[in-house]
Amino acid sequence: MAKGLRNGKRGLLIFGLAVAAIGLGILSASLWHDWTLPSRITKSLPDPPDPTRITADLGEQLEQARREAAEGPDRLGGVVHLARLYHANGILPQAADCWSFLAAEQPAEGRWVYALADIAATTGNTTETRRLLLATVEQAPEYAPAWLKLGDLEFKTGHPEKARRAYEQRLSLEPEDPYAAMGLARIAIQAGDTKVARDTLEQILEKHDEFSAAHN
């Protein structure tokens, strides 16, 4: 019996050491990931645009954002700032590089892949837009904007049932959203279900009397 107790204690000790080793390995990997972040950012930042093609004010804003990303206290926040500046000003290749880096660094954050989907939509790449929107809702199912954009895309490309599911998911997250409800009304109109369409439109106007699309 004493031998059994010794073996049991030895087993517990080995188990404890194994758990500690795993924990130490995870901590080390996390510390290494954080320590190498500045280097990864420096290597991943896109080259700035031709200064002759942008305003001096935008050039200064971009340079400031690059400094935030390269050496600021919140480097990832600096990359986000830079990506938004590029995106908002139509400098899409550089914006895509920044969003792709952020998506790799923070794979559970749906906003970065959604931004890539928006760029794909801007360039007319429907297949890539759908792929990225599906990736967004898979990674971040609570990110409501992606469901609305996915619903619109599926409706416009002739997939009403997929569009319906996307709009319904959007409404489960944003119950008062008139755009998703309008999407369901359009699906009903397309299917010839005038009663459902009328009821849906009336419900929209009860809550959003100035929503012109529903009046039309």
3-class DSSP state of 157: coil
CA distance 173 to 144: 6
pLDDT at 15: 54
Segments of the chain with pLDDT less than 50: 17-33, 35
**DSSP letter string over 37-62?**
HHHHHHHHSPPPPPGGGS-HHHHHHH
**From the CB of residue 128, how many other CB atoms can be counted at a distance below 10 Å?**
15
**From the CB of residue 78, how many other CB atoms can be counted at a distance below 10 Å?**
22
pLDDT at 118: 97
pLDDT at 22: 47
Phi and psi dihedrals of 209, rounded to 5? -60, -25
Question: What are the residue ranges of helices labelled H in 73-190?
Answer: 75-88, 92-105, 110-122, 126-139, 144-156, 160-173, 178-190
pLDDT digit string, tens, across residues 15-68: 554 444 444 433 333 333 454 777 788 888 999 899 999 999 999 999 999 999
pLDDT at 169: 98
Cα dihedral 65, 66, 71, 76 in deg (nearest 10): 70
pLDDT at 2: 57
CA distance 159 to 153: 9
